[in-house]
Amino acid sequence: MLRIWGRANSVNVQKVLWCCAELNLPFERLDAGMQFGVNDKPAYLAMNPNGRVPTIEDGDFQLWESNAIIRYLVLQYAPTNSIYPAAPKDRARVERWLDWALTTLQPAERPVFWGYIRTAPALRDSAALQANVDAVAALWAMLDRHLASRSFVEAEQFTLADIVLGAYARRWFGITEINPPPMPNLERWYGNLQERDGFRRYVSPPLS
C-alpha cells in the first residue's frame, strides 16, 4: 500500500491526501514533522534529503515534493483521469498554476499563516502581518478575476490546480483575523471545493 509520511495539518500533505481521495487510492499515512519528529532521522533523510514533508513510498519507489507527488499519483494510477489533462496545452494550463502556487502564492501566504495560526498574539508584528495580508489579498484578487468566467481554475474541469490552490484557500478563508475585500468568484469556487469529499476529510479540519 502507498505510504505517505507527514502530519495531517501540513498544507503540502493535505494536497496529497486530497488527491488520493479524488483517485480513490488507498494509503497509509504516518506522522512526521514538527512535534512528531521523524523527518530529522537518518532513515527519513535517506528518502528525502530535504527533511521536509510529505514523502511517499510506493513499493520501492520514494518521492518527495507535494506537487511532484500528485502528478505521479495520477500518472501511475489514473493516467486517463481528467484531473491531470493529457493534451499538452490543457496540461500546461494546469502546470502553470502548480508552479505559481510554489513560486508566488506560498512564499507570500506562509508568513500570514504562521503569523496568525502559529504565533501567539502577544508576539505578533501587526504592521508586518497587515502588509503580508495585503500582498496575499492581491494574489487572491487576481485569481478572483480569473474565475469570473469559469467554475474551476481551468474552465469547467476540476484538476490538480484546484487541489493545490484550494488547499491554500482553506488557510486564507480559515484565518478569522483577516478581513479581506469581497471576492465573489473566489468565494463561489471555494464553496464548490468544500463540497468535495476529499476536501472535507483532509483539508477542512481546524487550522493548527
Sheet architecture: strand order including 61-64: 27-30, 2-5, 55-58, 61-64
140 in the same domain as 48: no
In this prediction, residue 38 carries a pLDDT of 97
Grid cell in block for residue 16: 496529497
pLDDT per position as a tens digit, 119-150 = 999 999 999 999 999 999 999 999 999 999 99
101 in the same domain as 168: yes
Instruction: Decide if pLDDT at 174 tops 90.
Output: yes
Domain count within the chain: 2
Tell me the C-alpha distance between 34 and 53, whole Å.
Answer: 10
Angle between helix axes 126-146 and 160-174 (nearest 10 degrees) is 140
The pTM of the full predicted model, rounded to 2 decimals, is 0.96
CB atoms within 10 A of CB 111: 18
Residue 3's domain spans which residues?
1-76
Please provide the average confidence, as pLDDT, over all residues in the chain: 97
In this prediction, residue 111 carries a pLDDT of 97
Domain boundary among 76, 95, 129: 76
Domain boundary among 50, 76, 102: 76
Tell me the C-alpha distance between 125 and 129, whole Å.
Answer: 6
Q: What is the CA radius of gyration of the chain?
A: 17
